Each structure stands twice: as C-alpha cells, then as structure tokens.
Amino acid sequence: MATEDKNRATAAAILPLVGGAANVSSIAHCMTRLRLGLHDRSLVQDEALKAVPAVMGVVEDDTYQIVLGPGTVARVTPEFEKLVEAGRAEAPAPAAAPLTAEELAAQGAEMRAARKAKNATPFKLFLRRIANIFVPLIPALIGCGIIAGLNGLLVNLGWLPSVTPALAAMASGFMALIAVFVGYNTAKEFGGTPILGGAVAAIIVFPGVANIEAFGQKLSPGQGGVLGALGAAVLAVYVEKWCRRWVPEALDVLVTPTLTVLISGLVTIFGLMYVAGEVSTAIGTFADWLLSNGGAGAGLVLGGFFLPLVMLGLHQALIPIHTTLIEQQGYTVLLPILAMAGAGQVGAAIAVYFRLPRNESIRKTIKSALPAGFLGVGEPLIYGVSLPLGRPFVTACVGGAFGGAFVGFFNQLGDAVGSTAIGPSGWALFPLLDGNHGLGATIAIYAGGLVVGYLAGFVATYFFGFSKDLLAEFNVSQEAAATPTATPDPATTATASATPKEPAAV
C-alpha cells in the first residue's frame, strides 16, 4: 500500500471511532499525537481505537489525544482533516433528536464542564499554556541545533572554512531572535494580538538597549531572554485588553497599539529585563551547581522521576528552563540526563519481551515499538507495555535513574554533557550533543549513560518487574486463552455426559 493510501486508511479508521465528523470540534497535532476536541466524549470507542494498527495509545486530557508517533501524525492529520470536512459537507445538520436544543446544549455544557473540572487544575492549565508557547518552536530549535553541531564539527576539523560562517549564521539566527517568537506565541496564547506581543519582546534583543541604564547597570541585548519575552508579552496582553475596554472605537486602531507597546515597552526596559535577567542567571547557576555538587545523586533523581513527570504532564514546566540554558550556555545540561528515562524504558521493554515468551500480543507490540523507543519516542512502550503491566513502569524508572546517575557523575567530574536543542531523545539526540571537553568525550559519556540505562532497566524488570500472579496472568498465549471458548469436541462431550455424577455429600 502506498504511504499516502496508508495514511488515508488510518484516518478513515479513526474517524468513526471518535464519533464521526459531526463529533469533532477541533483538530491539531504535536510531535507524536493527534489532538481532537470532541463534542461528546461518550461516543468514542477507546478499545477499538487502540486496536487500529497505527494507533500506539490514547490519552485523555482537555483534548482527546491519539498517539501515532513522529512523522506518522504529521501525515495522518491532513488526511483526517479532509475526511472531517467531507463528512461535514455531506451531513451539515445533525439528525433530529428527542431532546430540545436547549436540553442538548445544557447536556453538552455539563459534560464539558465535568471533563474540564477533572483535568483543568490551575497549575496544569498554566503548564499547558507554557507548552503551547514553546512546543511550536521545537522544529526550529532542532534544525538549528543540528546545523550548529555540524558547523562545530567542521570548525574542529578545519574543513570548509568558507562555508562555516554561513552555517554559523543559520544556526544562530533563530536563537538570536527567539525572544520575538516567544512574545508572538505568548500573546496569541493569552488572547492578545500576536504581533504586538512580538513587537514588545523584540525590544529585548534590540542592540540599542545597550545604551540604556536600569537599576544602575547598563542593559545588554538579550538580557532576560525568553523569560523576559514571556513576561513582556503577557503584560502587553493585559494592557491591550484594558485599552480595548476604555479607548473609544474611533480611536482604537491608533491608540491601543501605541499604548500597548509604549507602556509594556517601558516596563520591560526599566524592570522586566533586569529581573528576568537575574532569574535566568540564577537558573543557569543553579543547574551548574546542582550537577557539579549533586552529580550522581542529582542525575539519579532527575532520571528516575522524569517518566512520572511526563505521565502527569509536569515535564512541560522544564521547557522554559531548557530554552534559558540553551540561550545562556549554548546547550542544556538537563536534557541528556532526562533522556536516560527513555533508556530505562527500552531496557524494561526488552526484559518484558523475554519474561513473557507466550504472550504474542505484548511481544508484537514491543517489537514494533522498540525502534521508536531507541530513537527517544517512548509513548508506544509506556502506554502499550510498561504502564498497563504496572511494575515494569517502576523498574523502567529505576533504569532511568541509573543512567541519569552515570551522566550526572561525569558532570560532577567536570565533563558537561548538553544538548543544543530540545525535543529529541535517545539515539536521535546524538547530532545535538555538545559539551565542554570535545565532541568525542561528550558522545562517549552520553552513549555510556544509555547503555547503563538499558542494562539497569533490563535487570530491574527481569528480576523484580513481575510477581508470580502477574506472570501467571500475562505469560499466556492469546490463542490458548481463546481455546476454552471454542466449540467443544463431540467425543469429549459424549464421554462427559456418560460419566455418572457422584451424589452430593450429605
């Protein structure tokens, strides 16, 4: 089957299982998941969805998320959108229902409110907004990070000296202006005019701020970085909304943008840049101190608890921290340690494969998901293997802890291992690695951490990941399990019927 037909077939298989086109209110996707807004969650057939070959799992949050994996989700989503549009065109109006429109609306509002109350705690909503600001920037961070790594290799080897300056410009251009993009996305996320958020954030990277003094110090271009841009854009949104309420409509087009940029800009220059700069410096200093002094212990905790953070959605809070470290140091020292959680997951999955030799279904899932796991995409293994089994999820965290401790130990010795971008993990992180003692040493330490994570995850899961009851429940053939439901053998039935029954004991 051609790739395009395969993607269309996947989309066609998913659509009826989420209630059809009429039940889909919004469609979006991230790096691995198709994210759907649904009118009625009760129409979704979860188990049937999980059985679709391309579906690696489902996650329910403020949106219904179908895990398809990197690459696949970007190709299936357009096909899904086409099918939804076609479905709406064929059936523009819903079928008549016994409920009135008011009752139907009230029922839908009640269901949405219950779902949101379940998932939308203020902290999680805040983290989701942070993710919505930074996740769209990840493709550019990855592309520029890989170019930066290639440029560093060419410079070290002394090759193509006429090309390396151009590569440096390509790699650094986005990072030099990342504050503008953060400001744009922040204003968009908080309900303001995106370009005004970008305009206020652009003040931070403007070279002319070097001539301005604040708190008795000369400002420097880029001071405050993405945190300053985030704060400046949020302030701009509130100023803009205030203006929209009080400025007459006839003057709105002139006054509102002017006051938004003026007020927010002055606060940014004479307050936010300095404060955010101090916070950013503190983050960098703390990260260096943590790994220099905590070393293996810090790596153990970070690597061991990252998978639970991902499950709770709290890992999104780390995105601005990673970005700040990349701005300051050229790389984030936290990501390679956190990536060890994926290594522990891979090791645990391999152990499950050997511990359940009779369970063809789980072994098939592991074989199909392992390549993605080695490349740092852990969701298929998490949702398809370790999490449903329970204990193997814990032992996978143990593997991540040991891998993180290995990388953290070398950080304590002075060998910093960092990543020039965020997003990739596992083997996919190799092109983005950077450090303070040469690329060879950095790659060797990171590779050693992966090996330790694989081995620790495997050993912990193989020996401690299964209780006797768990093995008895899951180490069975699916075909054998289905045998009792088959039609009984006539001879056996006849024999059983002819055998006299013992009288009940009195």
Q: What is the pLDDT of residues 276-304, one digit of tens each?
A: 989 888 888 888 888 888 889 999 999 99
Predicted pLDDT of residue 480 = 53
Question: Length of the chain in residues, anyone?
Answer: 506
pLDDT of residue 505 exceeding 60: no
Global pTM value = 0.70
Cross-strand bridge partners of residue 57:
67
According to the per-residue pLDDT averaged within each range, which of 4-8, 101-105, 227-231 is highest?
227-231
pLDDT higher than threshold 80 for residue 312: no
Contact 332, 419 (CB under 8 A): yes
Q: Considering the chain, what percentage of its residues have pLDDT values greater than 70? A: 86
* Residue 233 pLDDT: 95
SS3 (DSSP) at 57:
strand
**Calpha distance 318→74 (Å, rounded):** 24
Q: How far apart are alpha carbons 445 and 471 in whole angstroms?
A: 36
Number of H helices and E strands in the chain, helices first, is 24, 8
Which residues fall within 8 angstroms of residue 22, CB to CB, at 6 or more apart? 39, 87, 88, 91, 94
What pLDDT does 12 receive? Answer: 92
How high does pLDDT run on average in the chain?
83
Q: Is there a catalytic annotation at residue 243?
A: no
CB 125 within 8 A of CB 116: no
DSSP 8-state secondary structure symbol assigned to residue 193: -
Determine whether 84 is exposed, middle or buried from the number of CB atoms within 10 Å of its CB (0-12, 13-18, 19+): buried
Mean pLDDT of 239-266: 92
- Quick one: average pLDDT of 92-120? 50
Catalytic residue among 30, 144, 243, 397: 30
3-class DSSP string for 355-385: HCCCCHHHHHHHHHHHHHHHCCCCHHHHHHH
DSSP 314: G
Give 54-74 pLDDT, tens digit per residue. 887 788 777 888 888 767 887
Tell me: the pLDDT tens digits for 422-432?
877 889 889 88
Could you tell me the pLDDT band of residue 453, with boundaries at 50, 70 and 90?
very high
Q: What is the pLDDT of residue 302?
A: 92
pLDDT band at 140, cuts 50/70/90? confident
274 within 8 A of 231, measured Cβ to Cβ = no
Task: Report the C-alpha gap between 503 and 173 in whole angstroms.
Answer: 89
pLDDT at 61: 72
Residue 303's alpha-carbon distances to 27, 283, 407, in angstroms, are 33, 19, 10
pLDDT over threshold 60, residue 487: no
Residue 5 pLDDT more than 90? Answer: no
* Whether the predicted pLDDT of 97 surpasses 70: no
CA dist 182 and 204 (Å) reads 11
* Residue 446 banded pLDDT, cuts 50, 70, 90: very high
CB contact at 8 A, 216 and 195: no
- The whole-number average pLDDT for the span 355-360 is 89
Neighbouring residues of 9: CB distance < 8 A, sequence distance ≥ 6: 1
Instruction: With CA atoms as reference, report the closest residue to 55 among 41, 43, 45, 40.
Output: 45
Backbone φ, ψ for residue 241 (5° rounding) = -65, -35
